[in-house]
Structure 1
Amino acid sequence: MGALITWWIWTNWRNANPDVDASKVYILNSAVSSQIVKTIADAEGFKNETTLTGFKWMGNRAEELRAEGNHVILSWEESIGYMPGHTLDKDGVSAAAVFAEIAAFLNAEGKSLQDQLYALYNRYGFHLVRSTYWMVPAPEVTKKLFATLRADLKFPTKIGQAEVASVRDLTIGYDNSKPDNKPVLPLSTSSEMVTFFLKTGSVTTLRASGTEPKIKYYIELITPPGKTQNDLASVISELDQLEADVVATLLRPQQFGLIPRK
């Protein structure tokens, strides 16, 4: 849904404003949302910014950017909702209206939502997201697991066969993709959150729940452009393997006594 709304709002904004500098146009999404916004932004010339999870971060950042003379045309977090237009909080009514508009347009073109989604995957690469969680037997286990991951800042350099390009740890304020190893995003010291960016382009984030004894993970498998619906089965197989590698390398459920989701 996020991919389709991003495509629709950007395409219509660009058509209505062909002479406006695209580098002053922003679509925001959260740190646990799909990277497809960044992929589309990089290809089309507009800006994508990532915020911490929650609409207070996206709303505040949207207001700041607009005050600087920029155009924020959409913000979203896929597990919570969408913030189209000038709203500074999630707006389900507006999002539903936008999605209905997309469906009506595609229907008039003789296409389905699925057809358009595969067209986007063909143009920008598959972006398949999978998220779930493992239960933690005790709070100290969560602390121990994340402390083990970041011990002496020697994070895992491979997840399965995929090499890690960079790591962002918002709990301690570390991002080795930046010259000073400092993340652009604010620290989140009250909760554990570590993201691994792979050289393949794929991304995985581990995040401790703030309200329940859970460690959540968010995995996004990203492929090169050019693939079609016929490639879906093989892409899902790649995602299955990446998920297994994330669990074995980062979570290590047997070592830490984690309990699988029922």
Structure 2
Amino acid sequence: MMSWKHIFEKWDSFEDLEPNLIQELKELKSDPVALEDAFYKELTFGTGGMRGVIGAGINRMNVYTIRKAVNGLAKYLLDHTVNVKDRGVVIAYDSRHMSKEFALETAKVLGSFGITSYVFSSLRPTPLLSFAVRYLGTVSGVMITASHNPPEYNGFKVYNEDGGQITPNQASEIVTYINKVEDELSVPYLEKKELEEKELLNWIKDEIDNAYLDKLQGISKMPADKIEIEKEMPIVFTPLHGTAAELVPKGLKQLNFTHVHMVKEQAIADPEFSTVASPNPEEHQAFTMAIEQGKQTDATLLLATDPDADRLGVAVKNSAGNYQVLTGNQLGALMLDYILAHSDAALLRSGRMIKTVVTSELGRAVADYYGIQTLNTLTGFKFIGEKIRQFDRTGETFVFGYEESYGYLISSFARDKDAVQASVMACEMAYYWQQQGKTLLDALYDLFARHGYYFEHMQSITLKGKEGSEKIGFIMDDVRREPVEQIGGLKVVQMEDYLAGKRTCRDGNVETIELPKENMVKYKLEQDCWICLRPSGTEPKIKCYFGVRGTSEEDSKNKLATLQESMNQILQGTIEV
């Protein structure tokens, strides 16, 4: 590969460069560090696709990096899938800067290969894209989104013909094709007018929405007569300037929830996400406006979905009358318990619950209580989707899947985390417990009393740029070179190195981890506690996950605080080296 300076010069001398990128290159010339960061490497195409800051350069999201990725994807599909040109690819996009433009660029490059595209005429949630792949029978799907990243980001997510995110093996093969594209500035494409004339570009309106809503109504665990009852439970919903503003209210209306109050200021599809510091329902500040409206309407439940509507956050009133945001682990365990308690036991004999290795063990305890087997996957819903596809062959039954980062799937008519499904189920569940004289917090503490007080926490360290990326790599190498024997006074029982694929026990025994390789290390500690370290796949961060189980809330919180303090000291010492 030529040096980054030569690549920059190639871009700088390209006569047909997009006008907005010409201006950005001029500005970058006065900032050598930013210029190098934009060109020193290609934007990484990972297991779900690629995500990055919008701008000029091969390490940025722009029409040229999109075209290169689509060119590789098209060649991969033609070589590995049947009837590609006729079956086509479905494309959706969210509310971010350049989303619709990138969606159209995807169709333009696919069209140059004679591959038909089905593009939504307006923004749609990620789970609807997953559903659309299955509904239309396309060979692939593309979602233009950066989920809950800051406004300057966008992304390109690829889905396989099953409607799930591409697997690591599929991603690796696609990358091979992408890397064969020598010049991202000269990738062939057709103009929009020509695509439409050749019927290679088809615009989707309401057909997929209606089919999805039909399926959505079927996930309810309420008897038909209960569904017909008008439910006056007040609900406040915010789509956080994203894509769920229509489907969530429609889904709730199907179950006769009649008091749904939208946060109107956040129902606007604003790519700047101007009313929040971050459009991430994991961040409690994202609920600020919903809490204000909740107080005005005496809402039982607050719902917040991220911009592409694959993640859901929920807040409920506590005993002090304040709104408390449930963690993803807590909401997932509650939904799992509700679903299993209201399912036919005979149908659950082959039932499987799927969670990730950094998701709370409370879910496993709930599943065990109902006689349901739990399967662990690596972090990322793509692995849960892949497992569901295997069930189609093995006859196992998918009952629920979730991850701690606010991602849930109730029914497999979609094959990615689905905040629309989760919103409807959360409201149904809250209504059920309300009829029993309880809140969701009451129900949660019932679970703690039955299974133990499971508490979790995740913290991340942001290390930006080339130097930050190198430091993250150094931290992961260091924890492998210098394994610790105890953390926070608790002995390490096992160390799991998912990159090496091995589990080392305290007695010296080494076991094989039957999961794909990933740059992640997990410490299993005494007293059902654990810590996991992994670099983020989408942001310049290293994430540290903590999980504890205690005999009381106080016991668990004390354990959690001790582990955090101890691990912070270990990490800070490594960073300062």
TM superposition score category, shorter chain reference: 0.7 to 0.9
Does residue 239 in structure 1 map to residue 560 in structure 2?
Answer: yes
Question: 1:60-99 counterparts in 2 under 5 A?
Answer: 60-87=386-413, 88-99=415-426
Q: Deviation per CA, 1:37-65, whole angstroms, max 9, x where unpaired? A: 12223343211111122222101101212
Q: Which residue of 1 is the match for residue 487 of structure 2?
A: 159
Q: Is 1:126 equivalent to 2:453 in the alignment?
A: yes
Partner Cα distance (1:168, 1:180) in 2:
10
Given the alignment of the two structures, is residue 141 of structure 1 paired with residue 493 of structure 2, yes or no? no
Q: Is the 8 A contact 2:348 2:397 kept in 1?
A: no
Cα distance between partner residues in 1 of 2:539 and 2:348 = 45
TM-score w.r.t. structure 1 length?
0.84
Quote the RMSD (CA, aligned, Å): 2.1
Q: Which runs of 5 or more structure 2 residues have no equivalent in the other structure?
A: 1-330
Name the counterpart of 1:59.
385
Note closer, same or farther for the CA distance 1:5–1:93 as it changes in structure 2 (3 Å cut). same
Counterpart of 2:292 in structure 1 is none
AA of the residue aligned to 2:514: V
Contact 2:533 2:542 (C-alpha < 8 Å) held by counterparts: yes
1:161-202 CA distances to partner (integer Å, 9 max, x unpaired)? 1011111111222222597521122112xxx31111112101
Q: 1:44 aligns with which of 353, 367, 370?
A: 370
Unpaired runs of at least 5, structure 1: none
Q: Which has the higher strand share?
A: 1
- Indicate how the Cα distance of structure 1 residues 179 and 85 shifts in structure 2: closer, same or farther if over 3 A, else same: farther
- In structure 2, what is the equivalent of residue 181 of structure 1? 511
Q: Which residue of 2 aligns with 1:201?
A: 528
2:539 is the alignment partner of 1:212:
yes
Q: 1:143 to 1:35 in 2, by over 3 A?
A: same
Separation (CA, whole Å) in 1 of partners of 2:428 and 2:365: 24
Aligned to 1:7: 337
CA contact (8 A) 1:28 1:58 kept: yes
Once residues 257 and 52 of structure 1 are traced to their aligned partners in structure 2, the CA distance between those partners, rounded to angstroms, is 30
Contact 1:66 1:72 in 2 (8 A): no
2:359 to 26, 29, 33: 33
Q: Aligned equivalents of 2:391 and 2:532: distance in 1?
A: 26
How far apart are the structure 1 equivalents of 2:540 and 2:452?
35
The alpha-carbon deviation at position 138 of structure 1 amounts to: 2.8
Which among 550, 553, 567 is matched to residue 223 of structure 1? 550
Q: How many residues align?
A: 241
Instruction: Answer with 1 or 2: which has the greater Rg.
Output: 2
Residue-by-residue CA offset, 1:24-48 (whole Å, 9 max, x unaligned): 2111011222121122233432111
Q: Secondary structure at the match of 2:493?
A: strand
**AA matched with 1:51:** T
Aligned-pair CA distance for 1:69: 1.3
Give the Cα separation in 2 of the matches to 1:196 and 1:239: 14
Aligned equivalents of 2:409 and 2:347: distance in 1?
22
Report the residue type matching 2:563 in the other structure.
L
After superposition, the Cα gap between the structure-2 partners of 1:163 and 1:133, relative to the gap in structure 1 and judged at 3 Å, is same
* 1:171 is aligned to 2:499: yes
Q: Distance in 2 between matches of 1:195 and 1:57?
A: 18
Larger RCO (CA under 8 A, 6+ residues apart) = 1
Normalising by structure 2, report the TM-score.
0.40
